[in-house]
Structure 1
Amino acid sequence: MTNAFVINGGKPLKGEITPQGAKNEALQVISAVLLTEEKVTISNIPDIKDVNKLIELLGDMGVITEKIADATYTFVAKDIDQDFFQSEAFKSKGGGLRGSIMIVGPLLARFGKASIPKPGGDKIGRRRLDTHFLGFEKLGAQFNYNPEDGFFNVDASNLQGTYILLDEASVTGTANIVMTAVLSKGTTTIYNAACEPYLQQLCKMLNRMGAKISGIGSNLLTIEGVTKLGGTEHRMLPDMIEIGSFIGLAAMTGSEITIKDVQYKELGMIPDVFKRLGIKLELRGDDIYIPAQDHYEIETFIDGSIMTIADAPWPGFTPDLLSIVLVVAIQAKGSVLIHQKMFESRLFFVDKLLDMGAQIILCDPHRATVIGLDKQVQLRGISMTSPDIRAGVSLLIAALSAQGKSTIYNIEQIERGYQNIDTRLKALGADITRI
């Protein structure tokens, strides 16, 4: 029996909502506890499936994990059970979790070897892991894939710093290579490094643990290897994808919403992209206040041509918010071209929006043109299934703005990335029930 959300939409919401800790940061900084035998305390950890699975996996390996407060854990990775990595339990747990690739770098760095089952996760095109493995190889790791048991086995007894030019600015790839390089001999230079806030957070945390990383926030990182790292305390950033989702939700449902404690300076161009759709928002302290708006109008470019919103590596616009922008544009005045450059097949949920009454032309797997309805026509509620995390929340926003009842199936996908989303939306006045 799968769970579903039933939503009665078309009502404005009101109130305050606090974003959870950033999912994408969590998978990196929690993996980093494996680099030291000392205690690491991490706060603002989101209570979501992907993160809880990773914490459980660390426990199975022998890390002593303790929840000391709401969203705060301590980790002591003193005695790691090396045999666990060849076990069936690791294969089933590690294989079902895309984030499990993130433990490979720290294990290589500290123990000189690691194994990883072929990872699973989201279906959003070919998310290659080559960047990770090419980086490990450049640092001197050798690995072989065993097709019989489906494991990659990596040997890294002699890691040596080197110059690495990444084939793509992969966030997880950069993070994994950084975690490997901090304990390698000599100096490692990573060019075309990802520079997302998550990655900056990881590098700052590692430096507090005793690593020597410079160039943080740029695409050229220099890492001087050290022999060991110590413990630290780390607080995670709020999830910028949630913040963007709530901005979109407020606009689409004509709601007055305050998003609390957003770490505004870490949001990059996200607020500006929503402003381009005509959404009014103001910063009050470190909260974003969105007034109730009956109407928002998409800007055009200076020469009058149609606005294009595309994703790009940071500090460009994050691909995770493109599906949200696409949905919010449905009720704007004007038209916009959404161009998903970084992943294919991520726009394939628009058929559900068309069934709800949206005017969207899907040009190809990467581009969709949205012709705004300007709230002249309300979307209508339908039954639908969520294909991936971000599309799931986009459909949820569409359903909350639609007239009548919607049912969203496969909400496990949504809950991999958003904690207690139904309870938090109910607190704003949403009519949403879980069945």
Structure 2
Amino acid sequence: MPFTSSLSRCLQSPWACVAGLLANAAALYAVLLRLLDTGVIGPLSSALLLCVLLATVGMTRALRAQHRARRRGAQLVAALSILGTVIVSLWSIVVALGAAFLGALPDGFGRDIDIPPGMVLREPAPSLEPVALDEPAYRPLLRLADAAPPPARWSEVRFDAQAWAALTQRDTELLLRYLRSHPGWRIQAGGGGEMEARRSIDFARHRSHWFDIEVVVLLRSGLATESHPAPAAGVPGGEPAAGLPGRLPLAFESDGQGGLHHARLLIDMPRLRISLRQSSRWPDGQPLQHALDGVAAELGHVLAAGRWHSGLLPPGSVASGSPDIRLAGGAGAFEIEVAANPGEAGRVYLKAFEATRNIEVLATARRPIGWSGQGAELFRLRESVLVHAGDPGVYYPARFEAWFVPDSGTAERKLVEVLYRIDGWQK
């Protein structure tokens, strides 16, 4: 066929070799740009790599044809083109492996940005100080953190099934508002109308704590239905609440490296799931017992109140003053605290822009925040973020904004914005 013959002659031409060299150079450039994350999209890189493949086929055909015709010059061009393909491929692999194991190359963002005279920028703090909360429910756990572990080891945990089942009969919306407003709990939405709250007990002010505790509370928005029955209270694969013994056995597992022992307790109920994890230097269940009792006392106190008021929160939970965004850290790894009061239920997310060119460098997910009708009360929301744009030590001005999305469906609005001088995370 004429088309096939013409295509064959093109592929056998020395110009196919030249096209192959150009395609190889373009493909290498695309690979480097993709690794450096400067905006080359995947389809373009893939198209150029396809050109390399087609050019390689053409060069191979050309080399074979010129060899039969004994054209030494054309053979040399085709051979060099194929060698160029091999070099480009090997170089791309070396660059990719180097980026994976030795750290990525600088992206250059921020090097040509001059901070305008008169622009007032705040500097990130070294760290955000922990919120000092006096919580009576966890005092026994904190006292245990300062004590040496006793000779007797606890291998089980007491469990009051009736008391825990009674918690699920109360108003979980009140509980959700409390967890949103408490600075020690970190809230995120789950699937199917679920809301997860997570916290680690703060032992920063305790001298010799020998364990760490993490608590996860999962709230379910609705009651169980016949088609989707809620699990009963118990441990994984366990019995209904009424059938559980007064004491639950604990199984400790050693990690074999740091000499730590790990245990987990899970209590699953129709509207509420409590998960506690302990890591300790001794296989002793006392910390887990005190944490379980503390969570029951904390949530029980809230639900017993029957209605919301900020006095349910421990002292120090609510700040005062003007809305603010506090930043701590550096080299692109930051801890951010938003202090605001939107006045209604909803979620907050953060955006950051390079301040002179308005280039977006950060956008976070939406997270619930506390609120009240008292505008002077500020509720805290903390989050860890990575700002990828830029490199360590290359500073540029960035505008951080906190945006609020009401649950009522009305238009989102900006709560506060602050200017900082930051550097980026090396990818």
TM-score range, shorter chain: under 0.3
TM-score under structure 2 length normalisation: 0.20
Q: Which has the higher contact order (CA 8 A, sep 6+)?
A: 1
TM-score under structure 1 length normalisation: 0.19
Larger radius of gyration: 2
